[in-house]
Structure formats: structure tokens, C-alpha cells
Amino acid sequence: METNEQGYTSLNDRFLEELGLIKNTAELITLRARYIGKNGYVTAALKTLVGLPPELRGNVGRLINEDKNLITSALKEKEEELKKLEISRKITSSKIDITLPGYYKKAGGRHPVSIVMREVIDVFVSMGFSIEDGPEVETDYYNFEALNMPKDHPARDMQDTFYINTDYVNTGTPSAHNAGNTEGDVLLRTHTSAVQIRVMQREVAKSKEMQRSAPPLRFIAPGKVYRRDSDITHTPLFHQIEGLMVDTDISFANLKAVLEGFLQLVFDRRLPVRFRPSFFPFTEPSTEVDIGCFFCKQTGCRICKGTGWIEILGAGMVNPKVFQMVGYDPEHYCGFAFGMGIERITMLKYGIDDIRLFYEGDLRFLRQF
Ligand code: DAH
């Protein structure tokens, strides 16, 4: 350490000169260590104090401390200056253009068929119906046989069926003898009516176990169904809601009340409703239910094909043969069933004339709901 005649040469000039050359925080840290660190010049200078004549010590000590304070505050100032500089360097060098518009995610929406499905379910739930479910891959028995449609029944022709080649399912490859076989026992359900059978069977089994009579039922079964159909009013996959109400004293009047009430609620207006005699193997008597065409106020238009009426669902009193198949005593129980297509209701509610729009995934169409 240099000393003058007083025993100490100020470190200031040297320090300030070195400080002027500092370009970044890392250099600053080394400089700080060299001057005011444990082994730095300032500490070394303080250590020389003991070797000085006592009359100089006070003065020199004070000078060293003044230097130390000055160096410390100069370092601090420089540190802050460097930090600011580094931040602004980072900002100017990074590639972010903060004037660009931000990214945003478009919100998804419900599909119109889902919207109407929920509305229909809500109406029946408000009437006390519970919700049941069944498999989409069904057996011939639940889809046809138990609904009073034996193998040779002509009513099967009303529903063009996708049969599943079970040979293919079991082995992963279609075998020669089974390729093209359309008479398998496994199929894609053609209607949700199959759920009627499954639920009644389940309840009969439960009640036998508990040694009491089969319970009254009031449920709907919403879900997907499949048919070999494709045109402007048919798609191979579509949605239905099935309904079943069973008790000891259910009449056609109950059927009418429930379905009329449902139609007013779901179409949100007072509508003329007409019950037309029809045929379904699983109901007797059977009916098809029409609503007055609200597009033309029943004067006749393209949508009602000039009749003033629009067919909306099928229904009827449960055929005693069906009760027999599932083990509900037909002498004791009666009930009504109904089934409807959700796409059809959606098309009417929104005035859509081509069912295929639902399944083309065109966002210009879907964003309207
Ligand atoms: N399953 C019939 C169909 O898909 C609709 C139907 C008609 C269901 C009458 C019923 C019913 O429960 O009683 O065409």
C-alpha cells in the first residue's frame, strides 16, 4: 500500500479510474471485492494502521474510512446504473413486438343437437322422469326380439340395420365364410327402445332378489342410434329419446297428457297436437303424434308437405307381449312408451332443412347456436 508523508495515499483516483472501465455487473463484483472485500485494498490499508506512529493513526484512519464510504456509494450507484442498462439492452434486443395483437382462444359452444337434447331431458326431468342408459352395440334380442319383432317380422324392414360381424370382432380379421355376413347377432342399436327391455329386466331381477313385486317405472333413455340411411333427412348416426312409464293404472289419457305437455314446453308455444293411429310391434295401440305446422300456421307449406301437420314422435301403450318377455305381469301392469328423434326436433326448432349440416363440422353453421 502506498503511503505519503502522512502514512496514506488515497485510493480514490485509482478506484475511479478503474470504475470508469467497468462494463457489466460481473466486472463490478470483482472490482468491489478488490477494493472493499475481505482481502481488498481498504482492508489492507486499515491493517497498516498499527504500524503507524500513534499521532498519525487517527488522521489516516479517518481518511481510509472516507475513501471506503466513497468507494461503497460509488459502487452502489454504478451497480444500479448497470442494472438499468442491462434491462434496457434486454428489451431492445428481444424479438417481442408488443404492438402485435395478443393471442386469444375462441370459446367453444354446444352443438345444436346437444342443446335440444338437454332441453328435452330437462322437460321430462321436470315431470319426474329419471334417466337411463344402455349400450350402443346391442344384441338382436334387445333391439328386436324382446320388442316383439321376431327374426322374420316385417317391421324390421323399417330400420335398416348395421350388423356387426362378430367373427371379425373376435379374431380381428374377417374370415372368408363370414365376410359379408349381415345376419349376425350383434348390431348397432337402431333405436333407444332397447333400453326399455334392459331396464325392465333389471328391475324384475332386483325385485325377485328382494322378494317384492316389480316397481313402477318412469324414465327416459337418451342416446345415439344407427341406421343404414343417408339423405337430407337421415344420417347413419342420430339421436333419440325413449320414454317409458309403467304402473298398475296408466291409461292412454296419461300418455296424451305427458306428451302434449312436453310438446308445448319444448316448442315454447301452444300447439295443436294430433294423435294418429299407427303401428309399432312393441305398443298396442300405437300412435304417431303430429304437431300443427307453425311455419305456415297450418295453411300448408313445404315443411309440412302441404298437410298442415308435422310428425314428431311415435308412442303407444306397452304391448302385453313385451311385458311378458321381461317378466312384468301384463295382467297387473300397464304403461306407455314413446320415442322421438332429436335431430328432427332441432331442425324444426331452428328451421334447418338439411340434417347433414349437423355432422359436417362447418363452423360457419355451428357458430350460430
Ligand atoms: N322405436 C321407434 C323408432 O325408432 C320409436 C318409438 C315408437 C318408440 C313408439 C316407442 C314407441 O317407445 O312406443 O322408430
Q: pLDDT in tens for each of the 369 residues of the chain?
A: 445 556 688 889 999 999 999 999 999 999 999 999 999 999 999 998 888 888 888 889 999 999 999 999 999 999 999 999 989 888 888 877 888 888 888 888 999 999 999 999 999 999 999 999 999 999 999 999 999 999 888 878 777 899 887 665 555 554 444 444 445 589 999 999 999 999 999 999 999 999 999 999 999 999 999 999 888 889 999 999 999 999 999 999 999 999 999 999 999 999 999 999 999 999 999 999 999 999 999 999 998 999 999 999 999 999 999 999 999 999 999 999 999 999 999 999 999 999 999 999 999 999 999
Each residue of 211-224: b (16+ CB within 10 Å) or e? eeebeebbbbbbbe
Distance 340 CA to ligand 1 centre (A): 7
Retrieve residue 324's grid coordinates.
311378458
- What's the farthest any 2 CA atoms get from each other in the chain? 129
Question: Is 40 touching ligand 1 by the criterion CB < 6 Å?
Answer: no
Question: Is 191 touching ligand 1 by the criterion CB < 6 Å?
Answer: yes
pLDDT at 171: 56
Distance 277 CA to ligand 1 centre (A): 13
Residue boundaries of the structural domains of the chain? 12-93, 113-136+189-366
Question: Is 223 touching ligand 1 by the criterion CB < 6 Å?
Answer: no
SS3 for 69-105 is HHHHHHHHHHHHHHHHHHHHHHHHHCCCCCCCCCCCC
pLDDT digits (tens, 9 = 90+) for 240-265: 999 999 999 999 999 999 999 999 99
Q: Ligand 1 atom 5: the closest Cα is on which residue? A: 339
Quick check: 316 and 285 in contact, CB under 8 A?
Answer: yes
pLDDT digits (tens, 9 = 90+) for 53-74: 888 888 899 999 999 999 999 9
Question: What CATH number is given for 113-136+189-366 in this structure?
Answer: 3.30.930.10
pLDDT at 243: 98
pLDDT at 179: 43
Distance CA 324, CA 319 (A): 9
Ligand 1 atom with the smallest distance to the CA of 340 is 5
pLDDT at 93: 85
Q: Ligand 1 atom 2: the closest Cα is on which residue? A: 339
